[in-house]
Amino acid sequence: MKKKYISVVLTMLFLSMAVLSTTGCLDNVPTATSTPASSGPIAGAVTALSLDSATLKPLKTTSVFKKDTPIIYCSVAVANTTEEIVVSAEWLLVEGANNEVDIKKHSAAITTDGPRYVSFAWMRQGDTWIVGDYKVVISVDGKEAVTVPFRIE
């Protein structure tokens, strides 16, 4: 009886260790809500009210702007790249009271040997922005890399 008890305890201990060792492996498995790793040179992009003038790093990030905001920035974090790339931004009104808005397009050819920020800006034309949903489409060498949605209220 004592041997059977020891055998059961050892089996339970072994199974517990096996379960604990495999649960540690699950820490690196991405979940459905995880942000996928970027395979290109764009590490991320955000809209902002202001930028650091020296680094172009976003200071006041937001996705909601007031209709009297004078300028909207999009700051793009570029990862390591040793070759020249063309990063471009296309600003679009997705849905609003008046869909006849000029599409603003910018591009910047950059070469960098380390991480840096590239910024794009859209200045308000007239007294106020058109209220609605907008997006900035960031492309690298003509291929869409990331879309940044924002709203003007």
Which residues neighbour 117 within 8 Å (Cβ) at sequence distance 6 or greater?
Answer: 51, 55, 56, 57, 58, 75, 76, 77, 78
* Domain spans in the chain, listed from the N-terminal domain onward: 42-152
Residues pairing with 7 in the sheet: none
Kindly state the tokens that stand for 129: 């922005």
Superfamily of domain 42-152, CATH level 4: Immunoglobulins (2.60.40.10)
Give me the tens of pLDDT residue by residue for the chain, a chain 153 residues long.
444 433 433 333 333 333 333 333 323 322 222 233 456 889 999 999 999 999 999 999 999 999 999 999 999 999 867 678 888 898 988 876 565 555 677 767 776 667 889 999 999 988 999 898 999 999 888 899 999 999 999
- What letter represents residue 139's amino acid? S
